[in-house]
Amino acid sequence: MQTIYYEGIKKTADATTLIQDYLVVEAPLEININGNPFTVVMRTPGKDIPLILGLLFAEDIYRGTEIPKIDILENSENEFAKINVQIPIADLGVGYLNKRSLLSVSSCGICGKQSLSDLIQPKQKLQSKNAIDLEKLPEMFRIMQRHQDVFNQTGGSHAAALFNSNYELLTLQEDIGRHNAVDKCIGDLILQNKLHSATFMLVSGRVSYEIITKAFFAKIATVVAVSACSSLAVDYAKEFGICLIGFSREEKATVYANPNTTVSSTF
């Protein structure tokens, strides 16, 4: 269940009306690794397996080549879920050692990081051969918006979309959290064995440093946002060789990082 009805009282200058409104569902998902509590993610239910796979991959927690065994331990009517992921010790990545504290909220990329050293990521540039044509962006966002069913009902969800080098939509996922939507996209393509085809990432909100690091681990060298980019996101994008574009609306866009190697045209 991704949306739910709630009652509300709508007030205007002329009237007070009792209404039934769709709201996006936000509920906890407890992730255990090898039987031990790892983190609790506040997410929109419905794509929990892709979310878990994307999170493990994009946070450098799981470095194996096979999809790990995932067991659902609990799944209640109020959408609380508890799962366990079985990962061989040899396949646990650096992200597992720098794990978050138990509660990870859906809106903050830095929340739960236990020390400043947890923010340090591998300094290795992506080498992208696929420049993005800025003239394609308006249509890419129109395609994205047409598939945002939860947002169209509630106005309360974020979305991420991954496209291939031919500007074809590979996956679109929605969630209460910006980072969760990205994780769901990555996990969905892992399940389809298509992550290698992902070339461009579009997000419906702002970009923080963590979305850039997720793109880096997924080897996606272009990230485009409808909204703003944080200073740390720009710094990381420059360091990792990622083309970062913000404020992409209608026929405008602002390129913040690596414009010479990854942008092929202007409006």
Active-site residues: which are they?
108
- What are the binding residues? 247-252
Measure Cα distances from 185 to 78, 178, 266 in Å: 24, 11, 28
The answer to whether 23 touches 154, Cβ cutoff 8 Å, is yes
Measure Cα distances from 30 to 68, 110, 185 in Å: 17, 18, 20
Q: How far apart are CA 115 and CA 134, in angstroms?
A: 38
Number of H helices, E strands in the chain: 8, 15
| Cα 136 from chain centre | 22
Non-local CB neighbours of 164 within 8 Å, separated by 6+ positions: 170, 197, 198, 199, 200
Q: How far apart are CA 74 and CA 85, in angstroms?
A: 13
Give me 230's structure tokens.
């944080």
Instruction: Give me the residues paired with residue 17 across strands.
Output: 10
- H or E element at residue 188: helix 178-192
